[in-house]
Amino acid sequence: MTAKPKKLVLGLPKGSLQDATFLMMKKAGFNISVGSRSYLPAINDPGLEGRLIRAQEISRYVEHGMLDAGITGYDWILENQSDVQVVADLIYAKQGLRPVRWVLAVPEKSPIRSVKDLRGKRIATEAVSLTRQYLRRNKVKAEVEFSWGATEAKAPELVDAIVELTETGSSLRAANLRIVDEVLQSTTKLIANRKAWKNPWKRRKIEQLALLLAGALAAETKVLLKLNVQQKNLPKVLSILPALHAPTVNRLSSEGWYSVESVVDEPVVREIIPALKEAGAEGIIEIGLNKVVP
């Protein structure tokens, strides 16, 4: 008798987070392909079953157990007030390695200057519950209505204020809106159903996923620098390399020469390459990385 193979059912976010998530999963070692039936993407791991679901809904189905785990935004976990296990913070959002922000915005010429001024006003948002939680925290009573889209066009004619997602604020400015307050910063999370989290096999699978995703994410902003250097210049070269990741130093066959390798944060590279050259480093090369696991 063959036992049914073990499977982890994993919710993947359809829509704006999808591309970034699939890329991270690929770097973590999991290829996802979406065929004509997009709800059931194929993953090249017999232990994983993907489900492609709107980010807004994933935490709901993880909570109720239709999914064992899921990748979704922190904002929608709060909006749904879902009781789930947050396993890992994956520090990416729609457009890169930084959080998105939900902000309270009003028309440029509105007299509203703080959340307190919202008393009795009408607010449109896609995140009704999130907005109500925010108002409650601030002890303000106001009417919150669900917006089906184009929220930034609604103030001031249809509503007094909006709570809307923004990355750079430029689409708010283009709509002549002013940011009054930040309601929430949100990044992507790996979450698990509380019961699945207690199942040893499932927990191990989820933790493997978390480790590999973290390794892939770390590699996003890191590169490998390699260089050769003479013994006399070695201390100076080593002093330039950031202390965080200890460089690998290795004696070469050519007398008196060393090779040095170090994983470096990408934004630092552009600062130190001129300095390394000056310090006597030769043959500097930079190599991209798929994963970095410290």
How many residues touch a second copy (CB under 8 A)? Answer: 77
Nearest distance in Å: CB 180, a second copy: 21
* From 8, 10, 12, 14, residue interacting with a second copy (rule: CB under 8 A): 14
Considering only residues 83 to 112 of the shown chain, the ones binding a second copy according to CB under 8 A are 95-96
Indicate whether 163 belongs to the interface with a second copy (CB under 8 A). no
* Options 112-120, 130-138, 153-161, 191-199: segment touching a second copy (CB under 8 A): 153-161
> In angstroms, rounded to a whole number, what is the distance separating the alpha carbons of residues 78 and 133?
9
Region 108-147 residues binding a second copy, contact defined as CB under 8 A: 145, 147
The C-alpha angle with vertex 248 and arms to 242 and 252, in degrees rounded to 5, equals 130
Answer for which of 24, 32, 41, 51 binds a second copy (CB under 8 A) is: 51
- Name the residue type at position 22: F
Name the residue nearer to a second copy (CB basis): 193 or 228. 228
| Burial class of residue 38, CB neighbours in 10 A (0-12, 13-18, 19+) | exposed
| Structure letter (DSSP) for residue 243 | S
Spell out the residues 6+ positions from residue 211 whose beta carbon is closer than 8 angstroms to its own. Answer: 293
What residues between 198 and 257 interact with a second copy by CB under 8 A?
207-208, 211-212, 215, 219, 223-224, 228, 245-246, 248-254
- Dmax over CA atoms of the chain, in Å, equals 80
| Smallest distance, a second copy to C-beta of residue 4, A | 17
Residue 144 CB neighbours (<10 A): 22
The nearest distance, CB 139 to a second copy, in angstroms, is 26
How far are the Cα atoms of 9, 65, 157, 168, 247 from residue 196, in angstroms, in the given order? 10, 8, 48, 38, 40
Name the residue nearer to a second copy (CB basis): 138 or 266: 266
